[in-house]
């Protein structure tokens, strides 16, 4: 065999680098280091458990020649299992929840696996859930092996015997806190157990998401009601057997939006192309660091690659459509108007005016749009230059026609003390924001105003 070559792709799993974050952590005193598990050949840390769990299943006689591997997965474990199956000649059937990205489903099918998609918002015991469907398939398909990463303790053993020792060797134990997103419990428990044995003073902190029950259970010992969330691979609505809460010191809880925004920042500012759980982990690490009285060295495991979220987190339209707008929009409209030195005076026209009067007003004042008010001073419409040009040229409107014929509804009325975020969606649709104060129209905000605002002080 060629010198330096690996005998197969499975032997390339592991040895992923650890790098320091420099930009997204600039406002905290602690240092944050990340283990880039997306650099495994299958694109995630689940490559490790896929190979390890199946190796053990063969040794224990649970997976027999010609058998079918069955698993419920959020996608990444499926790839790890499928990669092992491709090398060893096994068939695979994977069951996914319908919130998983299209890329994950396509990846599994590309391996030749059969994929079954189940609804997300059902209880684990529901016969439609991907847990229940996975078990049913294993019960009905001859010579099949249900991996069950949630309750298969070889999941956490993978990280105890492989991932954690690798990190300890890389760092020589030179860190104070280890953090990872929680799902099946394998990573946080396996690594936590190993590090606690080697480093009695190390803190093990899990990152859970809003809607999950894991952090609440750790704190109270009670099973609370789970709620839906969009993050993939983080959080659970039940407690898998892989958890050993005695090795977990604390949890940080993060939300979908902040996680997705941080995921994009990791790419933009750190060059790290990772998945949504990575953004969640870094949000959690920053929150944890902000609570510390002294600076800490924090080591965070980043689970998977960003190429599985190209149609979601890294897609501007998807982010906008789902309300995950940049946190820069969390500024008061009044502050935007002040910085842009807007004059807080708006030219208006009454609803009994003519189109000719509106055109003359726009021409004389250099306006491109004018709000239309009724006799009571209420905003009833908006007349804009771009909506007048075509009908006037085509002869549809005459100068003495009432302005009501030319109303546009492409505007949103919002108080100046509200956040810019509240009009962001309207501005993205090229609508106009009519700004009021105590119910009185005081200004107009357009998409070009927002661009001017963000271009100031190097915001973009």
Q: Which of 290, 257, 253 is nearest to 276 (CA)?
A: 257
DSSP 396: S
Residue 94 and residue 96: Cα distance in Å, rounded?
A: 7
The angle at the Cα of 219, spanning 185 to 124, to the nearest 5 degrees, equals 50
Query: Which of the residues 46, 196, 312, 416 is marked catalytic?
Result: 46
Residues pairing with 290 in the sheet: none
CB 325 within 8 A of CB 421: yes
Residue 276 and residue 232: Cα distance in Å, rounded?
A: 7
CB 147 within 8 A of CB 54: yes
Q: Which of 209, 57, 49, 245 is nearest to 146 (CA)?
A: 57
Q: Which residue has the tokens 């726009």?
A: 362
Reported as type and span, the H/E element at residue 368 is none
Coil, helix or strand at residue 229? coil
Can 440 be counted among the known catalytic residues?
A: no
Reported as type and span, the H/E element at residue 449 is helix 447-455
Catalytic residues: 46
């Amino acid at each position: 065999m060629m010198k330096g070559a690996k005998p197969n792709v499975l032997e390339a799993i592991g040895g992923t680098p650890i790098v320091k974050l420099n930009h997204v952590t600039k406002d905290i005193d602690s240092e944050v280091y990340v283990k880039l598990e997306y650099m495994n050949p299958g694109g995630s840390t689940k490559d490790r458990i896929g190979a390890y769990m199946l190796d053990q299943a063969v040794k224990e006689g649970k997976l027999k020649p010609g058998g079918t591997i069955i698993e419920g997965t959020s996608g990444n474990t499926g790839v790890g299992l499928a990669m092992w199956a491709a090398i060893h000649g096994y068939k695979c059937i994977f069951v996914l929840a319908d919130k998983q990205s299209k890329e994950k489903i396509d990846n599994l099918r590309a391996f030749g696996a059969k994929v079954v998609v189940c609804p997300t918002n059902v209880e684990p015991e529901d016969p439609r859930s991907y847990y229940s469907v996975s078990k049913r398939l294993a019960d009905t398909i001859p010579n099949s092996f249900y991996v069950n990463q949630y309750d298969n303790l070889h999941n956490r053993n993978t990280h105890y015997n492989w991932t954690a020792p690798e990190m300890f060797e890389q760092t020589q134990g030179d860190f104070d806190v280890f953090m990872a997103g929680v799902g099946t419990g394998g990573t946080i428990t396996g690594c936590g157990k190993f590090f606690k044995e080697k480093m009695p003073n190390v803190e093990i902190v899990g990152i859970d998401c809003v809607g999950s029950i894991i952090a609440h259970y750790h704190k109270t010992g009670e099973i609370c009601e789970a709620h839906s969330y969009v993050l993939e691979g983080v959080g659970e609505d039940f407690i898998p057997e892989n958890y050993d809460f005695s090795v977990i010191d604390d949890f940080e809880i993060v939300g979908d939006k902040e996680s997705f925004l941080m995921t994009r920042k990791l790419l933009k500012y750190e060059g790290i192309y990772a998945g949504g759980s990575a953004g969640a982990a870094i949000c959690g690490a920053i929150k944890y660091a902000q609570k510390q009285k002294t600076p800490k060295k924090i080591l965070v495991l980043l689970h998977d690659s960003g190429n599985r979220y190209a149609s979601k987190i890294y897609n501007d339209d998807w982010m906008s459509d789902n309300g995950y707008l940049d946190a820069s929009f969390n500024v008061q409209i009044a502050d935007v108007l002040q910085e842009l030195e807007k004059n807080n005076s708006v030219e208006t026209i009454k609803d009994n005016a003519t189109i000719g009067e509106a055109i003359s007003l726009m021409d004389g004042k250099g306006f491109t749009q004018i709000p239309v008010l009724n006799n009571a001073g209420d905003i009833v419409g908006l007349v804009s230059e771009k909506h007048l040009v075509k009908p006037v040229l085509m002869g549809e409107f005459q100068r003495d026609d009432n302005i009501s014929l030319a109303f546009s509804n492409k505007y949103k009325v919002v108080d100046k003390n509200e956040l810019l975020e509240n009009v962001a969606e309207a501005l993205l649709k090229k609508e106009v924001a009519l700004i009021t104060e105590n119910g009185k129209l005081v200004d107009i905000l357009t998409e070009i105003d927002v661009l001017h605002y963000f271009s100031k002080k190097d915001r973009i």
